[in-house]
Every structure is written in C-alpha cells, then in structure tokens.
C-alpha cells in the first residue's frame, strides 16, 4: 500500500515542490494549508502523477487548528507515515526591536506547531513501526549563523526539538532537520540561486530514508551539518 505524507505549507514554494516530488515517488500527499483553495494546482499535479492528493485546513501557529486537522485526518481514516514540517515564516530584523507577540508567533509557527504535530503523529508512527519526520529548518538555525529577528532563534529551537524528539522515538521513526539552501520563493526572494525543486531534494531524501538511515541529524545537500556552525 502507498505511504501517505502530510506536508505543511504545501501550497507554494519549497513545500509544493516537496509534495510534487513525493507524489512522483509513489506517495499519497495531504497538503496541510491555511487556505485549502490555494492547493488546487498542487492537487491537480498530484492526480496527474497517479497518486491521491488531499488538502486539509491547517494553521500550524494555532493549536486549535492543529487539533481540528488531526481530527479531520482521523475522520477520513488517513494514516500519516511521513510528516514534513515545512511551513515557516521569516519575521523581523533585530530581536530586540520585535515585541513579544511577534517573537512568540515565529516560535509558534516555526517550532511549536511542528512539535505539536510530532507529538500527535509520532507515537502512532512508532506503534506502526514506520515513520519519517522531516523538519525544514535552516542553516540560520545553527548557533554560529543565527538568522535575523526571531527566525534564527525559532529554527535553533526547531533543531533542538528535532534532537529531543528523535531521542524519544524508536529508530524506526526517523526524525531529521534540514536546510534547503537559499531558494527562490516568496521567502527566499528573486536573487536566490536555487529552484524550489532543488531546495526540496534533501527533504524528499530524508522523507524516504531506508530503515538503516540516520535519525536525529541536520542535513543540507544530503550531507550532515553541524548544529553549531
């Protein structure tokens, strides 16, 4: 039976490329998106690859929305084998110039939302003895290269969460963080050298790791990164 992946923020940018590439590898894809209508084009592409595509409303910065997404998955009888925490926001230039609400929003969307999804879906993956969790982080989450505003702090927290969750789940559930590189998307801007398809590659590799693949790691271009620099 085909595996099923939940990809957050799959309506555009790197998330859409990850979703398309997973479908191309024979995986059914559920797009967790704030606006379900925005995933229409993606769902048509997934259908063209002969896989099942679905979109479910999901705001990863909102616990209630996460709960209702998980309830919808249950109602539809959808079992998640692969979770790609891709949705993210880049906010603020200087941490000291951001107010608490803005900082908290970055932490909610980039780190706590992914943790809630891992907490909900991870144990069920462990019970089924198969799971792949990919946290789309950034090299700007490494301590020596922290990105601007609350972004770097939130990605460093996502990295720390990746290590902890990987340690708490059995090895059959692989939990890894990755950096897509500098990618031409709304977030990355026009000057970025990589296409969303190139940026998606390492995430798709981690989402489809073999049983002897790594867990608790941090990768870019399919190679290990240091958590520090």
Ligand X SMILES: NC(=O)c1ccc[n+]([C@@H]2O[C@H](COP(=O)([O-])OP(=O)(O)OC[C@H]3O[C@@H](n4cnc5c(N)ncnc54)[C@H](OP(=O)(O)O)[C@@H]3O)[C@@H](O)[C@H]2O)c1
What's the closest the beta carbon of residue 187 comes to ligand X, in angstroms? 3
**CA 115, 120, 122: angle at the middle one, nearest 5?**
80
- CA dihedral of 41, 46, 49, 50, whole degrees rounded to 10: -130
What tokens appear for 178 in the block? 């990755």
Binding segment (CB under 6 A) for ligand X, from list 67-75, 121-129, 174-182, 221-229: 174-182
Q: Should residue 159 be labelled a site residue for ligand X when binding is judged by CB under 6 A?
A: no
**CA–CA dist 150, 166 (Å, integer):** 24
Cβ–Cβ under 8 Å, residues 162 and 218: yes
What's the closest the beta carbon of residue 24 comes to ligand X, in angstroms? 18
Binding segment (CB under 6 A) for ligand X, from list 10-18, 93-101, 206-214, 215-223: 10-18
Q: Should residue 136 be labelled a site residue for ligand X when binding is judged by CB under 6 A?
A: yes
Q: Should residue 188 be labelled a site residue for ligand X when binding is judged by CB under 6 A?
A: yes
**CA–CA dist 155, 157 (Å, integer):** 5
**CA–CA dist 82, 5 (Å, integer):** 4
Report the residue number, 3 or 155, with the smaller CB distance to ligand X.
Answer: 155
Q: Should residue 204 be labelled a site residue for ligand X when binding is judged by CB under 6 A?
A: no
Q: Which of 4, 116, 138, 202 binds ligand X (CB under 6 A)?
A: 138
Residue 34 phi/psi, 5-degree rounding, is -70, -40
Residue ranges in contact with ligand X by CB under 6 A: 8-9, 11-15, 34-35, 38, 58-61, 86-89, 109, 136, 138, 179-180, 182-183, 185-188, 192
């Amino acid at each position: 039976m085909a595996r099923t992946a939940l990809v957050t923020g799959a309506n555009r940018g790197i998330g859409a490329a990850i979703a398309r590439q997973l479908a191309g590898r024979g995986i059914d894809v559920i797009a967790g998106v704030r606006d379900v209508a925005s995933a229409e084009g993606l769902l048509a592409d997934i259908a063209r690859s002969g896989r099942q595509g679905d979109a479910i409303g999901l705001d990863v910065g909102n616990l209630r929305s996460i709960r209702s997404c998980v309830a919808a998955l249950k109602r539809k009888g959808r079992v998640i084998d692969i979770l790609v925490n891709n949705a993210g926001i880049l906010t603020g230039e200087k941490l000291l110039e951001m107010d608490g609400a803005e900082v908290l929003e970055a932490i909610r969307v980039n780190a706590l939302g992914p943790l809630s999804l891992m907490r909900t879906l991870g144990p069920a993956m462990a019970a089924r003895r198969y799971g792949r969790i990919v946290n789309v982080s950034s090299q700007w989450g490494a301590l020596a290269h922290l990105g601007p505003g609350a972004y770097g702090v939130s990605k460093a927290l996502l990295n720390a969460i990746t290590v902890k969750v990987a340690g708490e789940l059995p090895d059959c559930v692989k939990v890894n963080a990755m950096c897509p590189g500098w990618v031409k998307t709304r977030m990355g801007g026009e000057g970025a050298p990589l296409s969303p398809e190139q940026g998606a590659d390492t995430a798709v590799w981690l989402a489809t790791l073999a049983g002897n693949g790594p867990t608790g790691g941090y990768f870019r271009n399919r190679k290990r990164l240091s958590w520090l620099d």
